[in-house]
Amino acid sequence: MYKYLLTVSTISVLLFMFSCCNSDALPEYETNKQSQHNHDFHSYANTSQVRTRHLHLDIEVDFNSKTISGIASHTLENMGFDTVIFDIKALDIHKITLDSPNGEETYFKTGTHCNTLGQALYVHVKPSTKIVHIHYSTTENSEAIDWLSPNLTAGKEHPFLYTQGEAILTRSWIPLQDTPSNRITYSAQVKVPKELMAVMSATNPQEKNATGIYSFEMKQSIPSYLIALAVGDIEYRALGTNSGIYAEPVLIDKAVYEFADMPKMIETAENLYGPYKWERYDVLVLPPAFPFGGMENPRLTFATPTILAGDRSLISLIAHELAHSWSGNLVTNATWDDFWLNEGFTVYFESRIMEALYGKEVSEMLTLIEYQELVAENEEIQKSQYPEDTHLKLSLDGRDPDEGMTSVAYVKGAFFLMTLEDVVGRAKFDEFVKNYFETHQFNTLTTEDFVNFLNKTLLIPNNIKFNTDAWIYGPGIPSNCRTITSNRFNLVDDRVNEFVNGKKATDLGIKRSDWITQEWMHFIRQLPSDIPVARLKELDAAFNLKGWGNAEIMTEWFLVGIAAGYTDIRPEMERFLMAVGRRKFIAPIYTALSRTAENKIWAKNVYQHARPNYHAVSFNTIDAILN
């Protein structure tokens, strides 16, 4: 519990919950004991009064009806209140019983639906109540769940399901207190079709069983957004004593090759910032509809197949998700306004892993690519309705927390830490980061908690003055931001200049295999905005950029082609948009297409067919882009 939690009155919280989202008034059984409330404005849960300590799921996955149904059993800690409030969204609540699944039914009520937050679920409890059993089922509007038909999988034979809970979508497949400030342990029994296997962000099977019933346990406490489930035709391969890969059988060999360095990454991360606390680190390669590059579900990262480049050039994504085992999973942002604490630390940690394993040159190129993206997005945000979103500490009250998931949290956050490292020195900064993880393990922090810890343990003892407030509460990129250069990018720039000044693409003296992904991305990004279409066709003839197969390179090429009016790329771009659901790639492409009337018409036609292939995280974004 944080010191300013007590300053949030019940009245102010209820004004947000019940006026912002037009919810019902408090039920009659709620008493004036409610003098404090959860300070997370993206959750209805009253965790400062009654909180879940452990969640047990007894559920069945039905692909025919596309529902998950069963019982969510919450073991409670009650500070003397007669109501526990859960978060739900698009769930059918059948009944609620106390202390036994077949026990006494209790009174419950739901608030009016809010498009962003869902609904509050009020449950009347007794002082002696230990467990609340919520009997429920999901609906077709449960946004966390992606039900994939066989044709949307790699194997094309069996259906697939996965959940994506970050930021506030777990409430759409489990009724629970959906705030990162309340860490819980959980267990589950999951029944699935016998030909499929279930895995979760917990202990996991390594082969299918004959019953289709799987048991799971997560003994370490985690925030609710990290509870995750996947069901499909999945195979497992070990990579080391505590790591391995899950994937569809047709992808498993490719994935094993791509992620061969995972055991080295784990060892490198531990050498930097202390022991891995989650026992195993495995990765599940999902079908292409997955909206993110990766999701750091503890013990089992969910990863996009778009990183299977065949040359291990996109392995930094695994370094990123592994780093989350410390930053985000071990030490978690208390609210979504503090999201940078998760991602800024993780991008910084990722760069340190990549530097230790692959050298400073590679790490610098990766960081410069991210910095280019930060500069571009920072300019866009400053011109938007919410220029304050360029601050690290956000103010997302009344907004979807997904709106805070920009490169500001990731890259500005990382450069804040890199700049601190430059000022205090790497040895002292590493000691600080290691101490930060150790001191706050299995806890949640606000930005203000972090600033206090930074001042107390690093800046004041070393008599260092630093513009912390400018970085955290100020706009844009501060002037003392670390500067990074790359000799390899300078050589790429030379080739760009030669091409722009008239040298033929075939005379540049380079082959596709000469450069890694990031060098090709940099090459494409440095092409002038007014480049003639004929020159783009020349590059395609030499290097087949539009049909490369590497999603990072193809996305950059499509963006350049759209801006130049290079319509020859449309067949490859349509296939890409139909096959890939990762928001990082498709959102910029649809945005670029929406800028002209003719391109927008074409984009809407493609999207009409592609939308069923996307997760809600992606299609909600694209719906807004294309109106």
The answer to whether residue 580 scores a pLDDT higher than 60 is yes
Q: Which of 166, 321, 519, 552 is catalytic?
A: 321
pLDDT digits (tens, 9 = 90+) for 67-107: 999 999 999 999 999 999 999 999 999 999 999 999 999 99
Mean pLDDT over each residue of the chain, to the nearest integer: 93
Amino acid, res. 347: V
**End-to-end Cα distance, the chain:** 41
Q: Which of 410, 436, 607, 614 is catalytic?
A: 410
Distance, in Å, from the CA atom of 97 to the CA atom of 399, rounded to the nearest integer, reads: 34
Quick one: pLDDT band at residue 39, thresholds 50, 70, 90? confident
The answer to whether residue 326 scores a pLDDT higher than 70 is yes
The torsion angles phi and psi of 84, rounded to 5 degrees, stand at: -115, 135
Question: What is the widest separation between alpha-carbon atoms in the chain?
Answer: 81
Residues 6+ apart with CB under 8 A from 448: 2, 4
Distance, in Å, from the CA atom of 152 to the CA atom of 305, rounded to the nearest integer, reads: 13
Q: What is the pLDDT of residue 12?
A: 32
In the predicted model, what is the mean pLDDT of residues 608-618? 93
Determine whether 448 is an active site residue: no
DSSP conformation class of 567: G
In the predicted model, what is the mean pLDDT of residues 251-256? 97
Token reading at 1: 């519990």
Quick one: pLDDT band at residue 36, thresholds 50, 70, 90? very low
pTM: 0.91
Token reading at 141: 């509007």
The answer to whether residue 64 scores a pLDDT higher than 80 is yes
Quick one: pLDDT band at residue 6, thresholds 50, 70, 90? very low
Q: What is the pLDDT of residue 7?
A: 25
Distance, in Å, from the CA atom of 165 to the CA atom of 176, rounded to the nearest integer, reads: 12
Distance, in Å, from the CA atom of 601 to the CA atom of 337, rounded to the nearest integer, reads: 36
The torsion angles phi and psi of 179, rounded to 5 degrees, stand at: -135, 135
Token reading at 496: 């760009």
The answer to whether residue 3 scores a pLDDT higher than 50 is no
The torsion angles phi and psi of 420, rounded to 5 degrees, stand at: -60, -45
Distance, in Å, from the CA atom of 345 to the CA atom of 528, rounded to the nearest integer, reads: 34
In what helix (H) or strand (E) does residue 203 lie, and over which residues does it extend? none
The answer to whether residue 238 scores a pLDDT higher than 80 is yes
Quick one: pLDDT band at residue 38, thresholds 50, 70, 90? low
Determine whether 410 is an active site residue: yes
Percent of the chain with pLDDT over 90: 92
Query: How many CB atoms are closer than 10 A to CB 94?
Result: 11
pLDDT digits (tens, 9 = 90+) for 368-415: 999 999 999 999 999 999 999 999 999 999 999 999 999 999 999 999
User: Within 13 A of 231's CA, how many CA atoms are on the CB side?
Assistant: 25
Q: What is the pLDDT of residue 311?
A: 87
